[in-house]
Amino acid sequence: MSGVVTSRVADAIARRNAEASGALIGYLPAGFPDLATSVDAAVALAQNGVDVIELGLPYSDPVMDGTVIQAATQQALGAGFRLRDGFTAVREITAQVDIPVLVMTYWNPVLQYGVDRFADDLAAAGGAGLITPDLIPDEGTDWLAASDRVGLDRVFLAAPSSTDVRLKQAVEASRGFVYAVSTMGITGARTDVDAAARTLVGRLREAGATSTCVGLGISSAAQVAEVLEYADGAIVGSALVKALGDGGVAEAGRVAAELARGTTA
C-alpha cells in the first residue's frame, strides 16, 4: 500500500492488532436521524470500543447499500442533508473524540463538489480520508494526487471476483487499509460471514497488503472474532445503523460495546 504519507487509520489498526486481536470499524450515515444525533452516535461508538469511524455520506443512488442503510440515508436526505453537512459532522466528531474518521462516499458527489476542494475541506475538518466503493484505482488519478497533497488516506475495495491484477492495483493505491468485501452484492447483516472473505484476505496478502479489513454482513461479537482470526479489522454497518434507528444513541453505544468484545475474544 502507498507509504508516502503517514496513515492515522493504519496506525490505529496496527495498534489494535498489537493490543488485541484486531480493530473494529463502525459505520454510520451522517445526518441520520438528524445531523446532531449522527454526531452523538459516532462519538458513542468511539467511546464504546470502535477504533475507526466510517461516516457515510447519504446519496440518492446507493447501489451497494442494503435496505437498513438505504432507509437511513433516504431519511437523512429527506431531512435536508447536504454534502457540506458531512464536513460539519467530521469536525464535530473529531473535536470530541480522538479517533480517525473515514468518509464513505460514492464518487459522483466528490466529482460534483470538486476533487481538490473536497480533499481540502475534508482535511480541514479533521477527516482521515475516503472510502470510495465505486471508484477503481486506474480511474482515480485525480483523487490519488489530491489525497497525497493533503495527506488523506484512500481505501479501495476488493471483492472475491476481483482479478489478481485488480487486487494488486487496490493494494498499491490504498492507504489505511484495503476493504475486503466478504460477500458479492449489497450490504446487510448476515447470519454467516462468507468463507470467501478468508480466501480474499489471503489473496490480498499475497498481493502485498499489510492492512486488510473485512466488511459486509458482520453483526455479532462472534463474527468480529471470526474475521479477526485472519484479517486486521472488522467493519460493521447495518447492525449499528439498525441499533441507532431502533434505540437511539444509547443503543448504538451498547451494540458497539458488545461488538467490541469480539476484538478481545
Beta strands in 62-136 (DSSP E): 101-104, 129-131
pLDDT of residue 191 exceeding 70: no
| pLDDT bucket at 250, cuts 50 / 70 / 90 | very high
| pLDDT bucket at 106, cuts 50 / 70 / 90 | very high
Least confident of 16-25, 53-62, 133-142, 183-192: 183-192
C-alpha span between 257 and 262 (Å, rounded): 9
Distance of CA 40 to the CA centre of its chain: 18
pLDDT of residue 119 exceeding 80: yes
The one catalytic residue among 11, 19, 34, 54 = 54
- What pLDDT does residue 3 have? 45
User: Does residue 65 have an active-site annotation?
Assistant: yes
Mean pLDDT, residues 47-73 taken together: 85
pLDDT of residue 59 exceeding 70: yes
Query: Global pTM?
Result: 0.93
Backbone phi, psi, residue 123, to 5°: -65, -40
Neighbours of 172 (CB within 10 A): 16
- What pLDDT does residue 203 have? 97
C-alpha span between 243 and 72 (Å, rounded): 11
The one catalytic residue among 65, 153, 226, 232 = 65
CATH superfamily of 8-261: Aldolase class I (3.20.20.70)
Mean pLDDT, residues 2-29 taken together: 90
Q: Is pLDDT larger for residue 169 or for residue 70? A: 169
| pLDDT bucket at 210, cuts 50 / 70 / 90 | very high
Least confident of 109-118, 134-143, 177-186: 177-186
| pLDDT bucket at 14, cuts 50 / 70 / 90 | very high
**C-alpha grid cell for residue 224?**
468480529
Task: Report the Cα–Cα distance between both ends of the chain, in Å, rounded.
Answer: 28
* CB-side neighbour CA atoms (13 Å) of 180: 33
- What pLDDT does residue 120 have? 98
Return mean pLDDT, the chain.
92
- Cα-Cα-Cα-Cα dihedral of 122, 246, 52, 86, to 10°? 0
The H or E element containing residue 212 is strand 212-215
pLDDT of residue 182 exceeding 90: no
